[in-house]
Amino acid sequence: MNSILDLILRLDCWLLLAPLLPGIINKVKAWVAGRRGPPVLQLYYDLARLWKKGVVMSTLASPAFVMLPAVTWVALLGAAMLMPLGPLGAGLSFRGDALLLLYLLALARFCTAWAAMETGSAFEGMGTVREVSYAVLAEAALIAAVLSLSVQSGSISLAAMLGPPIGASAVLLAAGLFIVLLAENCRVPFDDPNTHLELTMIHEAMILDHSGPPLAAILHGASMKLLLFAVLLVQAVLPMGQLKPWLAAVVLAAGVLGVTVAVGLVESLLARFAFRRVPLLLTTAFLLCLFALLVAWKGGLQ
């Protein structure tokens, strides 16, 4: 019975708290610009509204157009359940779950790209090409970060990798993972989630033809992905395993809030980069994570 209650508690954390992060980011951006901005709970209202609407499909699209957003959402929820939540731990934990996390994130991206190509739209195809091309470097940086944590802890289980302090490579890993977070969640300077210019959109171009519940699944899945990367970043650089359970929960919540506010500040103070400059920034993220890996490997040899 206790295990069931723990599982329900973790599900509630991921399902109910994830839409709060985009609201906080929008509120920070509005505060910097001197505006009132939308309410923090705006995404909850949008999800409830979309869930009541019907689905409009292109005549070229197959039934996979509706099914793939659900598969993407399930893959992201599965990845979230593998991620430890401080003192709560992970919903699913086993040796090698870090590798499954990477595969589930890749599956979610693949399904999103497939659904975008279903409509035969030139704009969605253009956004898909950009998303996949950026993902090559972003995933390389994420893999380097996971390898750094694995070398540091001597394990390929997320619970063991995110428990002990990471040491001298924490700053490098934090900077690299923050850049990856911005890229993977299509935030400025990589993409502008509020833009409506088809020629400059990336992720938003991929979901132009989605509506109703599939669009709600996509938006909620995107918020879960943002929360997942924020939790990964906080636990990768802070010694959560060294703290008492109640203090670890407070530190984790404060850390996620800090990362969310930082994303809002970045979007307020930086402009979107030109497409030719994006690979350079992603390469920088990869090098930062690679240097963190080298520092962890050298420390393990001593």
> Where does the chain have alpha helices with state H?
2-17, 20-33, 42-51, 64-82, 97-118, 122-153, 158-161, 170-184, 203-206, 212-237, 245-269, 278-301
| DSSP-derived secondary structure letter, 273 | P
Position with higher pLDDT, 50 vs 90: 50
By the 10 Å C-beta count (0-12 exposed, 13-18 middle, 19+ buried), 21 is classed as buried
Task: Kindly indicate the confidence band of residue 42, based on its pLDDT and cuts at 50, 70 and 90.
Answer: very high
The answer to whether the beta carbons of residues 220 and 47 sit under 8 Å apart is yes
pLDDT tens, residue by residue, 170-229: 899 999 999 999 999 989 999 887 777 766 788 888 998 999 999 999 999 999 999 999
Backbone angles phi, psi at 106, to 5 degrees: -65, -40
Which range among 23-27, 86-90, 124-128 shows the weakest confidence by mean pLDDT? 86-90
164 — pLDDT class (breaks 50, 70, 90): low
Owner of token pair 């519940």: 213
pLDDT score of 18: 97
Residue range(s) defining the domain that contains residue 136: 2-301
Residues in Cβ contact with 192 at an 8 Å cutoff, skipping those fewer than 6 apart = 200, 201, 272
For 147-173, give one letter per residue: b (16+ CB within 10 A) or e: bbbbbbbebbbbbbbbbbebeebbebb
Q: What is the pLDDT of residues 269-285, one digit of tens each?
A: 998 888 889 999 999 99
Q: 216: Cβ–Cβ under 8 A, 6 or more apart, which residues?
A: 46, 47, 50, 51
Percent of the chain with pLDDT over 90: 67
Mean pLDDT of 29-44: 94
pLDDT of residue 202: 84
Given a cut of 70, is residue 166 above it in pLDDT? no
Query: Which residues have a Cβ under 8 Å from the Cβ of 222 and sit 6 or more positions away?
Result: 22, 185, 186, 203
Q: What CA–CA distances, in Å, run from 288 to 33, 172, 180, 245, 291?
A: 31, 5, 11, 31, 5
Portion of the chain with pLDDT greater than 70, in percent:
96
Among residues 9, 12, 19, the alpha carbon closest in space to that of 221 is found at 19
Q: Is the dihedral of CA 192, 171, 227, 82 positive or negative?
A: positive
Q: Which residue type occupies 53?
A: K
pTM here is 0.95
Number of domain units in the chain: 1
Q: Which residues fall within 8 angstroms of residue 54, CB to CB, at 6 or more apart?
A: 211, 212
Is the pLDDT at 302 greater than 60? The verdict is no
